[in-house]
Amino acid sequence: MYEDFQDYVITRLIKLRMNKGVSARSMSLDIGQCKNYIAQVENKHNLPSMMAFSYICEYFRITPKDFFDDEIEYPVVYNELLCNIKELNEEQIVNVNNIIKNILRK
């Protein structure tokens, strides 16, 4: 069970990091850790503490729930889209929704 959890965290972390286009070293330093911290996590030498996990989520601008939600493949973009939609009026939201429907049909 622990191995499955560790593998999940590593896989999700790598995917989020790659989607953001940052190196493990750069991310490590950006979250205030030593330069090889993320590499150690990704290589199964370490699992993030709760504090480090919160820094990781904050770094990606996602919630812990988003981190563990398998149904959201791109949580960073998804959250940005939701924030932007909140700024639209009803007509604009309807237009965006129609565009999405048309994209999904293709």
- The pTM (predicted TM-score) of the whole model is 0.78
| 25, pLDDT greater than 80 | yes
Distance CA 25, CA 89 (A): 42
Percent of the chain with pLDDT over 90: 80
Per-residue model confidence as pLDDT tens digits over 35-83: 999 999 999 998 899 999 999 999 999 999 999 998 888 888 888 999 9
Q: What domains lie within the chain, and their CATH numbers? A: 2-105 (1.10.260.40)
pLDDT at 71: 87
